Structure formats: C-alpha cells, structure tokens
Amino acid sequence: MAYHNDAEWARIINGDYVNSIMRRTNDQVNNCTLPSIVEFPNLMRKKSIGYTVACVFISLYIFIMLAIICESYLVPSMERLCYSLRMSYDVAGATFMAAATSAPEFFVCIVATFVAKGDMGIGTIVGSSVFNVLAIAALCGIFSGVYTKLDWWPVTRDCFWYLLSICALFGILFDSQVELYEAIILVVLYFIYLIGLIFDGKIQKVCRTRDFAEGALQENPLDRKEDAMKSFKETVCGFPTKENNTCSKIWFAIKYPAVVLLAITTPSVRSIFFLTLIMAVVWISILSYLVTWTLTIIGYNIGIPDSIMGLTVLAFGTSVPEAVSSFIVVRKGYGSMAMCNAIGSNTFDVFLCMGLPWMIAIAIDSKKIDINSDGLAKTTGVLIITGAVVYFSLLGTKFVLGKIVGWICLVSYLAFFTFAIAMELMVLKPTCDIESGHYSFYT
C-alpha cells in the first residue's frame, strides 16, 4: 500500500490507521475472540507443524534453564539473604522469593495497564493463583519424595492474607471500575502485610505458647556445615567423570550451553549474592515471557480456545518460577518456605502487581480504569475455595506436606480445571482466524 501525502503518514503515526482497520472489522471482532498470540511479537503466527514442534523443544529447554536458575542462583541467594538479615525462611519465602518469582506477572500487569489498556493482567493473575495454590502443593507433595513438617503459623498467616487480598479484589472490581483510592488501598495493604512480617517474631511470642512454638520450629539449615559453592571454573569446566553413565553424559551435554550462559551472565552467590538475586530475577522474567509465548504458539496451532488458554497454558507458563523454586526448596527441607512462596506470590500479585500499576496509571491519566470483569464472582469464589482446600488438607494431616495433601490438591486442581473449561465453553465465542483477509493486519 502506498502513502501519497504527509497527512496519510500522520494518520498512521497517530494510530488512526490501526483504528480504522479495527472499525472495518468490528463486526467480525464482535462475533469472535482474537487469539492471545496477537499480544506477542509478530512471529510464527501462521499455523505450522514445524512451529509447533520447534516451540515444544524450546519450551522444554526453557524449563531446564529455569530449573538451573532456581537451584543454582535463586535459592542459594535467598539462603544468603536470610543469613545476612537474620530472617526466617518462611518470611523470606513470603517476601523476597514471592516477589522474585512473581516478576513475570508484574511485567504482564504493567504492559496490560499502560500498553494494552485491558484486563489481561487480571486474567493472568487469577489464572495463576489457582495453579500456585493447588498445583504447586500437589507437585511438592507427590513428586518431591519427602514428607515435610510445616510450621502451622506461617501457613495460617499467609492463607489469611491471601483470603483478604481476594476479598479486596472482589470489592474493587465489583463495579467493573478501579478508582485511585481503591488502588492505593491495595498498595497500603501490602505494606501493612510487610510490616506484619517484619514483626512476625514478636507477634508469634504473643499468639503462640512457648512449648508449641519451640516444637514447630525447624532446624536452620545454615547451622549445618555445608560444602562451598561451586566456582565459575568448576561450573563451566566440570565435565562428567568416567564413572558417570551414558544418560548422565547426555543430560550434561544438553544442559551445558545453559549452564555456561548463566555462569557468564550471573555472578556467583559466593561473591555478591544480592547481584546474583537481581540477575536471577531478570533471567526468570525473560524466560517466563519466552515460555509463555512458545506455549501460546503451541496452543494456537493445536486449536485451544483463547479463554481456556488463559486459565491453563498461560497460567502454567507464568507460574513456572514458583513451581520450580518451591519444588527445589521442599527437597532442601524448607517446607514452610515453599508454601509461603506459593501463597505469598498470590498476595504479592493482587496487592502490588495490580495495585501499583493501577495507582500510577490513574494518577497520570486522572481517570478511572475500566475492567471487563464478567464472571468475577464465580472466579473469586473458586479462588477462596482453593485456599480453603489447601489449608484444611494440611490441617487434617497436622501440617505434613506429603502424598495425601498432594493428591487432594491434584484432584481439586483437576476438578477446577474441568469446571473452568465447562464454564468457558458455555459462553465461548469462536476464535478469529487471523490468517484470513479480514485480519491480515495481525499477520
């Protein structure tokens, strides 16, 4: 298409051209739903078996990289942070680790608020909340291979704040609008939550009996003698020995490029652990975006509807850091830290990931934010139920995270999965074919 004058170029720069295209296709958009793939860069948007296979392998390798980051950098830097600040592991899991693993959701909310001007951020957070609470508990309980005794206090504390955050979200979005004072309330509640965590030790002395508190505390792993961290040379040049079997050598060859890349770009925990933590968060954010993108391409090629993608595949993609880090810390013996990470991530998502961008956007534009919140009551009810399922299953097992709790959470997650898909299929619009002539703008 040729443009013959400056006015035509001005229309393009000002966005009028895009708006005119959307007006011409308004009837089609109203009768179908644009796939979530249009929210990502304009690459691999045409359906192809080759794209699908490539994205499957890319996604698997990203999962490997996330596991390496969490095991070799994020969790060790958290250990050093706890030691430096004399902080308990459950508080660290509910604050620093929750914030670090929730970085993908935070960036999604910023993009949704300032760029997309929609409720994509809410959908991502609501979808990942159920995964964080149920699926992560199932993963740690069934597949970690350990039975972990949890401290009842931090689990109860974080479940309470999680419930409060969901109730606050429901109250704010009830009229499908967000006002400045409502966004400020969310941010203020998060800082009250932080203050409560800072003085958690003193609060425990008041609320808990001495005998119960002493029996519930876990041994501090930092008090035990530990081997020194691997140096850069050991990490990069530590080839398998002759005693390793063929599978170990193949696995080493597969992950070696990722190990080298991370070792070059991320400092050792032994040197500057806080910089290690920052770089781990940066890598987690980048890789979470990439895995969400590749999973979206896979879902688009398979034909999974966009609304179901948001509740399942995209929720899984943004929750990978929480799942990997929680699984690793459970195997290290930090059970309370793992559960506080999973539950605390949801609290962080609601209070800060949504509250802070909303507050800034409303303060800048001086107008309310409109939210499309159809079905919010049902979704919020489900979120409350998921928190209750996890808490009472732990209460019934005397706060032992094992296979019983894991299977209860897995069955509950599958039930939610089935219920959510059934609800979406009842009101589902067909997905727009962006490869047709009407939507050539998207390809």
Q: Hey, CA dihedral for 168, 169, 170, 175, is it positive or negative?
A: positive
> In the beta sheet, which residues pair with residue 33?
431
Residues paired with 173 in a beta bridge: none
Residue 59 within any structural domain of the chain: no
CATH of the domain at 106: 1.20.1420.30
Regarding predicted confidence, which is higher, 290 or 438? 290
Domain count, the chain: 1
| Nearest to 420, CA basis, from 162, 127, 176, 133 | 127
Kindly state whether residue 319 falls inside one of the protein's structural domains.
yes
pLDDT of residue 381 exceeding 50 = yes
Q: What is the pLDDT of residue 188?
A: 94
CA distances 144 to 100, 148, 401, Å, are: 22, 10, 10
Cα→Cα distances 266→70, 75, 161, Å: 12, 14, 34
Query: Could you give the percent of the chain with pLDDT greater than 70?
Result: 70
Pick the more confident residue, 34 or 347: 347
pLDDT over 80 at 316, yes or no: no
249, two tokens: 């050598």
pLDDT band at 1 (very low <50, low <70, confident <90, very high): very low
> Which range among 6-10, 120-124, 137-141 has the greatest average pLDDT?
137-141
Asked if the structure places residue 367 within a domain, the reply is yes
For 142-196, the pLDDT digits (tens) are 888 778 888 888 889 889 999 899 888 888 877 778 888 998 999 999 999 988 8
> Residue 232 pLDDT > 60, yes or no?
no
- Per-residue pLDDT averaged across 405-419, rounded? 88
pLDDT score of 408: 93
Q: pLDDT higher for 270 or 13?
A: 270
Higher-pLDDT residue of 76, 397: 397
164 within domain boundaries: yes
383, part of any domain: yes
Sign of CA dihedral 323, 325, 326, 328: positive
Q: Check whether 29 has a pLDDT greater than 50.
A: no
Q: What is the mean pLDDT of residues 94-98?
A: 77
In a domain, 2, yes or no: no
* Mean local confidence (pLDDT), 231-245: 52
Flag whether pLDDT at 386 surpasses 50.
yes
Q: Is 284 domain-assigned?
A: no
Q: How far is CA 366 from CA 28, 29, 181, 354, 363, in A?
A: 33, 29, 12, 17, 5
> What pLDDT is attached to residue 58?
92
Q: What letter does residue 408 receive in the DSSP assignment?
A: H
> What's the rounded mean pLDDT across residues 78-85?
78
Measured CA to CA in angstroms, residue 166 lies from 102, 137, 216, 379, 382 at distances of 17, 19, 28, 10, 10
Residues 154 and 94: beta-carbon distance below 8 Å: yes
Name the pLDDT band for 431 (thresholds 50, 70, 90).
low
Alpha helices in 200-241 (DSSP H): 200-207, 210-216, 232-237
Higher pLDDT among residues 27 and 273, named by residue: 273
Q: Please check whether residue 36 is in contact with residue 310, taking contact to mean a CB–CB distance below 8 angstroms.
A: yes
Q: Quick one: 110 exposed, middle or buried, by C-beta within 10 A (0-12, 13-18, 19+)?
A: middle
Tell me the mean pLDDT in the region 214-230: 41
Q: What is the pLDDT of residue 115?
A: 57
Question: Which of residues 155 and 430 earns the better pLDDT score?
Answer: 155
**Average of pLDDT values for 1-5?**
49
User: Which of 298-302, 308-312, 333-337, 382-386 shows the lowest per-residue confidence on average (mean pLDDT)?
Assistant: 308-312
For residue 325, give its domain range.
Answer: 88-220+302-442
Asked whether residue 346 is domain-assigned, the answer is yes
221 vs 203, more confident: 203
**Rounded (10°) CA dihedral 32, 34, 35, 40:** 180
Phi, psi angle pair for 40, to nearest 5°? -110, 170
Residue with tokens 């005397």, as numbered in its chain = 398
Low-confidence winner among 106-120, 212-226, 260-274, 382-396 (lowest mean pLDDT):
212-226
Q: How far apart are CA 330 and CA 38, in angstroms?
A: 37
> Sorting pLDDT into bands at 50, 70 and 90, what band is 23?
very low
**Whats the size of the chain, residue-wise?**
443
